[in-house]
Amino acid sequence: MNSAQPLRILILLHVPLDRNFGGSRVQLELGEVWRSLGHEVEYFDVVRAFGAKVGSRRPDRFALIKALLAPFWQPSFASKARQFIEAEGDRFDVIDAHQGNLPFTKADLRYRGLLVVRSVGLYPLYVAFDHGAKPPQLTWRGWLVRQLLRWRDRQEIRHCFTSFRHADLINLPNPAEANYLKETLGVGEKCHVFPFGLAPERRQALATIGAKNFSPRHLASRLQHPQLTFIGTWCVRKGSQDWRSLLLQLWATLPDLQVQFLGTRSPQSVILRELALPDTQNLTIIPDYRSEDLPALLTQTTVGAFPSYIEGFGFAILEKLAAGIPTVAYDIPGPQTMLTPVDPALLTPIGNPEAMANQLRQLLTLDIAAYQALAHRCQAIAAQFCWQPIATDTLKAYQQAHARL
């Protein structure tokens, strides 16, 4: 294929196309850039596969168990995707599919183009962390759900591995995932690592908020009235079990520090019960927000914290850096890609909230000049993670692999 010839790309994913979800946001925004570059892009997501069956809001006490057992009585997304590709796959030069969505050979699919399997966070690694985490006290229903989840996880891991084996090319967000697949499946020659990025308008919206706060008056205010922000789901993988210790240590020396949790997807009552803090008057919890509202929500933020134990990349870090907000994270793949170029000290030992609290305390006690220099450094590094060059580099890899078929 001529490198200048437009590609016909099918983006395939088992979740709804929604910018508020990191998993689908990657392929959605990449697709938008590819279209702007003159390529044809079509999406096949779970809504297209199942139509009106997705998104019901009716309460159901047994909804989770029904969802886990659904494969026994209804078609899976993979089977729907296979039917679509068997019928219409010849319209596409490239299929960019989420991990596990196509656990079939290209012969099974009757497809002759380039089959790419993508990870936005390697599922087997996430499962390994979840299974290794200390389980809570469970009721009999909780025990049943846990067993069903473990059964589902085993099936999903098998599907993921099968999809990686049959792919022509594997798209990964960090080098650690490439090393894992090389050692586990021996597919290192297929692996390509591409980071995530921000759309120009998104980065500009965040950068504008940061620029407004770079005047000496606003910088002084940010340091005199500090605020810490965490963005992420409230769960063990994202460090929920570390926040009580982290907050108590910070408030012991910085009692006026304001803290906000954004996008927890858990209600305030649940989070407060798990934290069991003696005082929560300086804590604000916003379970859900619209993606376009994030810049305004970050206006008063001085520093960010991200105690996640496993991450594919970490939009929550990248967006704070784009707003000029120094952020401290555990030293894990994904965050390493963004924070090491800013300052390696922003990465602290995994599972050590005391070390994270100490680093945050150092940031919060910087003088204005040092804080301003670090904030500018954050924005400069964030500007390097832009979808346009990432999308272009990804297309080059796809075109070269397609030409080898």
Mean pLDDT of 124-140: 76
pLDDT (tens digit per residue) in 275-299: 999 999 999 999 999 989 999 999 9
- Pick the range with the lowest mean pLDDT from 91-105, 145-159, 243-257: 145-159
pLDDT (tens digit per residue) in 349-359: 999 999 999 99
DSSP code, position 386: B
Is 284 in contact with 165 (CB distance < 8 Å)?
Answer: no
Q: Is the pLDDT of residue 257 over 90?
A: yes
Strand-by-strand arrangement of the 227-231 sheet: 283-286, 258-262, 227-231, 303-306, 327-330, 347-348
pLDDT (tens digit per residue) in 170-189: 999 999 999 999 999 999 99
| Per-domain residue ranges of the chain | 8-197+386-404, 200-382
Q: What is the pTM of this model?
A: 0.89
DSSP code, position 84: H
pLDDT (tens digit per residue) in 368-394: 999 999 999 999 999 999 999 999 999
CATH 3.40.50.2000 fits 8-197+386-404, yes or no: yes
200-382: CATH architecture: 3-Layer(aba) Sandwich (3.40)
Band (19; pLDDT cuts 50, 70, 90): confident
Mean pLDDT of 191-212: 89
Euclidean distance between CA atoms 235 and 222, whole angstroms: 29
Domains 8-197+386-404 and 200-382 share a fold: yes
pLDDT of residue 137: 66
Mean pLDDT of 62-72: 48
pLDDT of residue 256: 95
Tokens representing residue 302 in the block: 């001085």
* Mean predicted lDDT score pLDDT of the chain: 90
| Torsional sign, CA 307, 313, 317, 321 | positive
Residue 216 to residues 117, 321, 333, 391, Cα–Cα distance (Å): 48, 19, 35, 37
Cα–Cα nearest to 231, from 126, 362, 327: 327
Q: Is the pLDDT of residue 345 over 50?
A: yes
Strand-by-strand arrangement of the 8-12 sheet: 40-44, 8-12, 94-98, 114-118, 169-172, 191-193
Residue spans of beta strands (DSSP E) within 148-244:
169-172, 191-193, 227-231
Band (63; pLDDT cuts 50, 70, 90): very low
